[in-house]
Amino acid sequence: MDYRQGIIILTDLGKDELKTPKNLKMEERSLLVMVDCSSTGAQLLEKAKGYPNAEQILEKLLAQDYLSITAEVPKKETQETIHAELKQAVIDVLGTQADEAARKIEDTEVDKPALLLSIKQIKQMVYLTIDEKKAKALEEKLTAIVDKYLK
C-alpha cells in the first residue's frame, strides 16, 4: 500500500522509542512525534515540510517498523459510491421503512469501524421496530458492501 494514501500509525516499537529514546536521531524522533494516527503519509509530509529529508525519514521509519500503514483513505468518488450502495441496500431490504436507516448511513463517515458500528445500530433498530429476518438480512448485505470497498 502506498504510504502517501494510507493512514500512518505508530507501532509498539515507535511508541517505545518515544518513551525511551534509544536508536533514532533527533530529527527521526521529531517525525515520530508528528504522527497523530489519523493523517495520511502525504498529510504527515506536509506537516514536516520544514525537514529537507522528511520523505526519506518517513520511508526509513516505515521500513524499520517504527511506523505502519493502516488503510487507504477512500477517494471522494469511492466514498459517494459506498454511501449510495449502502443506502440502496437499505431501500431494497426495508422498502418504505428505510428512511431512518438510510439517514443513519448518510450521516456515517466512510470509515470501516464507523460503518460497522452504524450497521449494528441499524440492525438493532430494524430488529426492534420491523422484523428479525429483515434485520439479519440487512446486516449481511451492508457488511458485504463495506467489506467489498474497505479492507
pTM of the model: 0.52
Domain boundaries, the chain: 6-72, 76-149
Give percent of the chain with pLDDT exceeding 90.
34
| 3-state secondary structure at position 137 | helix
CA distances from 34 to 9, 56, 60, 129, 147 (A): 10, 15, 15, 46, 30
Q: Averaged over 82-110, what is the pLDDT? A: 89
Instruction: Inform me whether the pLDDT recorded for 118 exceeds 80.
Output: yes
Q: According to the model, what pLDDT value does residue 77 have?
A: 62
Instruction: Inform me whether the pLDDT recorded for 1 exceeds 60.
Output: no
